[in-house]
Amino acid sequence: MNFLEWNNHIAKHFFNPNQAGRDIHLFITKQEIINLAKENFEEETDQEIWEDYLRKLRNGLPGSSGYPDIFDKAIHSFQQWKKGIRKIDGVEVKYPPYISHLVFAVLPLIEIQGDYYATNYYDRLKDFLNENNIQQNLRNKLRDIDELWADLSNWSINTKNGELGCFKELLFTHETRKFVYKPFSQCVLTPKAIRKLSDFFYATGFVPKTFYQDEFFKQQLCSRNGIAILELKTSVVEIIKKPADEIGQSIIETVKSEFIQWTGEEHEIVLKDGIEKKIRKNTVVPLKLQFKVNEDGEIVFSYRVKYSSEPPPELKFDEFEDIYENKHWSRTLKRNYKDSFELKDTHNKWKAVFDFKNIRLLIRGGYFQLGNDFFIETEKLSRVEEMYLLCKNNISQSIQNWCENCCSQFRNETTLINVPPDHSLFWFKNPHQSHTEFPQLKVYENKTISLRAGTGLKISYLSYLNEMLPEVEISNADGNEKVYIQYENENEKFFLDKHSRTGGIWLLPQNITVNKSFYIQIENGFIEGARRTYKIGEASHFDLSNENLHKRNKFNAKVDDETTFIQGNRIVCSFLNEVAFTQTFINNQKATILQGPALNFKDNTLLKWLIGVKECDIKKYNEAFETILHKTFEGEQLRLQERRKSSLNILDYLGYVDFNYSDDKIFTLPPKLISIPSDRGIKALLIGGRDEEMVNEMIAYCSKSNNRITISFKKQSEKNLQMLIPDSIIFETNNKREFENLANHFQIEFDDWYILKLKNFLPTLSQYEQYTIGKGSSESWEKFGLEKKIFRKESLKFELVNGYDKEYSLTECRPSYIPEFALWIKQSYYPIDKNWGKYLFINNCSEKVRGYGYGIYFSKPNEIFCNSKNLAIPVSIPLPKFISRLILQLSGEAPEFKQINLKGKSVSYNVYRNIPSLFTHNFFQAILDMKIETTMQAI
């Protein structure tokens, strides 16, 4: 590897799309540097790789022979970078070429340990040079490369717009140490210590999303718990304790920054199957006070839980269950006021804490995108919104004086009914000066600009979909700002309207230009973040491809070199008996092809977002789903977490996305036309992502076909609409060539035998069991003390039980938020797909009936029913992924959710329509070794 290749490898470790918007610290160990480059070496030892790195660093870029030492060569690299050189010796200059030099400046503080004074840099550097046989005198040379830190900050934040991460240069004022403080600021807290901060916060009694003074952070860091958990060296503790030490303050700021991001979780690293795995131990979340004042002047108190990580769907705090309202807040929990209390869920290991406070600030619920009839507790002052302040009487006079003298409006509301004893309640607006005694009442004047969290549909870092536009938020706004957007490389300003109900919020214009970068700024004012560029984009199906997905075998395992595989909605398989299902798909009866009146297609917003984002994880999907749902449907949304989960699965089964929960990845699939069964004529279903422009062009195409081909749209049921499931798009003709012509015209694939390929691709139940056993058993979670649930045939649910049969049982365990399911077979533990596991377990414990051949038996669980072309499957035993795709894509319709009494009790079913009954019976017997029930009862 040459110098530039080394630099690119190291820089990519820090700066990459996964780091978008995150703070970057140049902390990397010697071993991590070696590991980054190993794949580029063959038989070299770790030491030889390390020596190669140091040698290339000493040599620097070509043309640097006149620059004698490593820091001089850093200056040469910087000069070449500023000249705009983009390629050297055939290697692209992807990152500032001096990043390796800045990393080198930090390495002595990481690799050299000993009895040094806390801020002694140059003796560590000298020992590092000696240890690595580098004969150079670099003492007092950090000042020579000082401008490189600022340039890296400018490149990451302004030039790259934070899309690869944000390196922030810290400025120090100490006359003699300001240069050495910069490498110190990168590594005083090690990455290991930073990773352990969540455990530190939990162990020392922090509650997330709560205001704490700097002194409290300092006390806890220097406490016995803090030192032990974070493994802080004595010299670091001394720095933290010093009142005015700039490095000590930077440590506190780093910890505060991590605390802001902390979700309240405590974790433990365990060794399972020889691999380190993180398991969730406990979670603490804050309870926030809220109240509303009724017409009689009475305050009615209640609470909400505020959380940053997804709560378990079955979370229950005492009498409160199904508490989820949105991704940050619970629904209202009605309880009388107390100064402090806790709510616990021992099963899920969650606790909600209402801490004692002398001062509580409350703001209109609209500030949190909740109902404006509530005032809800917040942690900081607003300069524009009306607020309430609840405080203890022993400090009330001082606070009242502040309200009267430092706020534009003030009322003493202590006389309202239900104000807690020994408390005062004040209403105020527009504070313009901080309280001198209480940090909670500090008026912050430094403004920052951003797009408001919880608004808009984000498709990439700082880019949003051109639907449900995000709102602009200026933190610490005073209400007098004139805010405008300005497109990149243009002079015209477009001033924004204020939000009608919430202060500090402005609205983007509905006619904003798409796919064009813009700045957001304040007229005649500086604002932090104003040089970031934002973009509003649109969804296009041309950006979708199967090539970004892994190839998978019939067991949904990743493969590279098999000849039979599925990749998104592309199926490659061997022999097909094309005669077998011809009559299912093609009917000799001709259909009447008559295109309906002209249509103007408006597509589903969730599908638009999925096409725009192309790839996401479950968290991003959940955020988009909730944003769209709350904008589309009014009123309280119950069982929202269940609906989100069902929605994602149905979108997968209908062929819009490919979702694998074990990878936490969702890919939007390209559009594709597939044949589906028809009573007369020939029908095809459009699966995958599609954009409005293409569909409207398809409408025009069919309208001009002289009734050779028609397009129609099948609306989903009302319940499925509230799961944001798109309309099905179906084409009909009497000549298959019309589908081929349509596909060619719109440059999409037509797969006549897609359904048959999918059926041929599926494993049988017994094959899946043998595959699971063949992978080998695993270590169970039992020894780690995690609770597990057992799947029971009687209820078709996972339930907590005291004991279970390890000869054949299906278990669920949640080491984290993604559960692990496993089959116990003959005392051995086999991780397994949940849905396949359910059918294996049901097959094992159900009655067996004789089949049509010798030695052939089917299970008869008496759970699944069919009637004509309708199929009813209990909600709690969904079919495995590829089977579900097959069943749903026969019709293109999402199942209906219905409560039906088919076996003496009411059960929740998913009812599938337009499924040929002969196909259904044969399919369940052939694939799932199961005989399903036929019923005359309406389904």
Q: Which tens digits make up the pLDDT trace of 3-23? A: 999 999 999 999 999 999 888
The whole-number average pLDDT for the span 95-120 is 90
Phi, psi of 247 (to 5 degrees): -70, -40
DSSP secondary structure letter of residue 104: H
In degrees, rounded to 5, the angle at the alpha carbon of residue 350 between the alpha carbons of residues 360 and 276 is 125
Does one domain contain both 309 and 397? Answer: yes
What is the rounded distance in angstroms from the CA atom of residue 80 to the CA atom of residue 884? 58
Domain limits for position 473: 448-538
DSSP state string for 161-197:
TTBTBB--PPP---TTTTTTHHHHHTTSS-HHHHHTH
Q: How big is the chain by its Cα radius of gyration, in Å?
A: 32
Which of 663-677, 780-794, 865-879 is predicted least confidently?
780-794
Does one domain contain both 198 and 180? Answer: no
Here the tokens at position 158 are 């302004």
Q: How many CB atoms lie within 10 A of CB 856?
A: 11
Predicted local confidence at residue 466, as pLDDT = 96
Predicted local confidence at residue 579, as pLDDT = 46
Mapped onto helix, strand or coil, the DSSP state of residue 462 is coil
The whole-number average pLDDT for the span 802-809 is 90
Given a contact cutoff of 8 angstroms between Cβ atoms, the answer to whether 720 and 650 are in contact is: yes
Given a contact cutoff of 8 angstroms between Cβ atoms, the answer to whether 563 and 574 are in contact is: yes
Taking each helix axis as running N to C, give the angle between helix 765-774 and helix 834-845, from 0 to 180 degrees, rounded to the nearest 10: 110
Does one domain contain both 647 and 688? Answer: yes
What is the rounded distance in angstroms from the CA atom of residue 107 to the CA atom of residue 32? 11
In a domain, 213, yes or no: yes
Phi, psi of 907 (to 5 degrees): -130, 145
Interval 700-746: pLDDT, tens: 999 999 889 999 998 888 888 889 999 999 999 999 999 999 999 99
Matching residue, tokens 């944003």 = 627
Amino acid at 128: F
What is the rounded distance in angstroms from the CA atom of residue 923 to the CA atom of residue 910? 18
In a domain, 404, yes or no: yes
Mapped onto helix, strand or coil, the DSSP state of residue 743 is helix
In degrees, rounded to 5, the angle at the alpha carbon of residue 209 between the alpha carbons of residues 205 and 210 is 60
Q: How many CB atoms lie within 10 A of CB 311?
A: 21
Beta strand segments in 603-663, E:
615-616, 657-660
Does one domain contain both 68 and 175? Answer: yes
Predicted local confidence at residue 866, as pLDDT = 93
Given a contact cutoff of 8 angstroms between Cβ atoms, the answer to whether 897 and 910 are in contact is: yes
What is the rounded distance in angstroms from the CA atom of residue 517 to the CA atom of residue 490? 10
Predicted local confidence at residue 863, as pLDDT = 95
Cα-Cα-Cα-Cα torsion 640, 646, 649, 652, nearest 10 degrees, comes to -80
Does one domain contain both 523 and 549? Answer: no
Q: Which residues touch 115 (CB under 8 Å, ≥6 apart)?
A: none
Does one domain contain both 132 and 207? Answer: no
How confident is residue 585, by pLDDT bands cut at 50, 70 and 90?
A: low
Given a contact cutoff of 8 angstroms between Cβ atoms, the answer to whether 610 and 668 are in contact is: yes
- Residues 806-829 as b or e (16 or more Cβ within 10 Å = b): eeebbbbbbbeeeebbbbbbeeeb
User: What domain count does the chain have?
Assistant: 7
Does one domain contain both 502 and 547? Answer: no
- DSSP-H helix ranges across 160-311: 181-185, 191-195, 197-203, 214-221, 224-230, 234-241, 246-261
Which of 331-340, 464-473, 608-617, 817-826 is predicted least confidently?
817-826
Name the residue among 345, 315, 341, 340 with its Cα closest to residue 330.
Answer: 315
Name the pTM for this structure: 0.90
Does residue 758 have a pLDDT over 70?
yes
What is the rounded distance in angstroms from the CA atom of residue 104 to the CA atom of residue 128? 10
Predicted local confidence at residue 151, as pLDDT = 97
What is the rounded distance in angstroms from the CA atom of residue 162 to the CA atom of residue 463? 12
The whole-number average pLDDT for the span 462-474 is 96
Does residue 926 have a pLDDT over 70?
yes
Amino acid at 551: K
What is the rounded distance in angstroms from the CA atom of residue 637 to the CA atom of residue 792? 30
Matching residue, tokens 């414990």 = 845
Strand partners, 195: none
What is the rounded distance in angstroms from the CA atom of residue 302 to the CA atom of residue 336? 7
Interval 152-175: pLDDT, tens: 999 999 999 999 999 998 888 888
Matching residue, tokens 């337009």 = 914
Matching residue, tokens 């002079």 = 491
In a domain, 363, yes or no: yes
DSSP secondary structure letter of residue 15: S
Interval 818-867: pLDDT, tens: 789 999 999 999 999 999 999 999 999 999 998 877 778 899 999 999 99
Predicted local confidence at residue 516, as pLDDT = 96
Predicted local confidence at residue 33, as pLDDT = 96
The whole-number average pLDDT for the span 427-442 is 96
In a domain, 146, yes or no: yes
Given a contact cutoff of 8 angstroms between Cβ atoms, the answer to whether 343 and 320 are in contact is: yes
Which DSSP helix (H) or strand (E) runs through 645?
A: helix 640-653
How confident is residue 271, by pLDDT bands cut at 50, 70 and 90?
A: confident
Phi, psi of 789 (to 5 degrees): -115, 155
What is the rounded distance in angstroms from the CA atom of residue 840 to the CA atom of residue 820? 16
Does one domain contain both 637 and 532? Answer: no
In a domain, 469, yes or no: yes
Of the three residues 826, 845, 864, the one that is the final residue of a domain is 845
In a domain, 783, yes or no: yes
Residue % of the chain over a pLDDT of 70: 97
How confident is residue 527, by pLDDT bands cut at 50, 70 and 90?
A: low
Amino acid at 513: T
Does residue 586 have a pLDDT over 90?
no
Matching residue, tokens 């397009």 = 711
Q: How far is CA 457 from the centre of its chain?
A: 13
What is the rounded distance in angstroms from the CA atom of residue 380 to the CA atom of residue 368? 13
How confident is residue 577, by pLDDT bands cut at 50, 70 and 90?
A: low
What is the rounded distance in angstroms from the CA atom of residue 334 to the CA atom of residue 319? 10
Matching residue, tokens 């990397």 = 28
The whole-number average pLDDT for the span 591-616 is 82
Does one domain contain both 96 and 125? Answer: yes
Does one domain contain both 691 and 729? Answer: yes
Strand partners, 831: 822
Here the tokens at position 53 are 């790195």
Query: What is the DSSP pairing of strand 672-676 with strand 749-751?
Result: parallel
In a domain, 268, yes or no: no
Cα-Cα-Cα-Cα torsion 32, 33, 36, 38, nearest 10 degrees, comes to -100
In a domain, 269, yes or no: no
Q: How many CB atoms lie within 10 A of CB 562?
A: 12
Of the three residues 761, 787, 807, the one that is the final residue of a domain is 761
Query: Is 637 exposed, middle or buried (CB count within 10 Å of its CB: 0-12, 13-18, 19+)?
Result: middle
Query: What is the DSSP pairing of strand 896-901 with strand 906-912?
Result: antiparallel
Does one domain contain both 799 and 685? Answer: no
How confident is residue 191, by pLDDT bands cut at 50, 70 and 90?
A: confident
Amino acid at 355: D
Name the residue among 598, 597, 594 with its Cα closest to residue 733.
Answer: 594
Strand partners, 789: 812
Beta strand segments in 47-101, E:
87-88, 91-92
* Largest separation between any pair of C-alpha atoms in the chain: 94
Mapped onto helix, strand or coil, the DSSP state of residue 897 is strand
Strand partners, 860: 847
What is the rounded distance in angstroms from the CA atom of residue 462 to the CA atom of residue 441? 32
DSSP state string for 546-594:
GGGSPEE-TTS-EESS-SSEEETTEEE-S---TTTTHHHH--SSPP---
Here the tokens at position 208 are 């997330």
First CA to last CA across the chain, in angstroms? 68
Which of 32-36, 256-260, 579-583, 645-649 is predicted least confidently?
579-583
C-alpha distance from residue 276 to each of 30, 38, 195, 777 (Å):
21, 22, 14, 18
DSSP secondary structure letter of residue 244: T
Phi, psi of 272 (to 5 degrees): -130, 125
Does one domain contain both 631 and 754? Answer: yes
Of the three residues 169, 187, 205, the one that is the final residue of a domain is 187
Name the residue among 83, 40, 76 with its Cα closest to residue 61.
Answer: 76
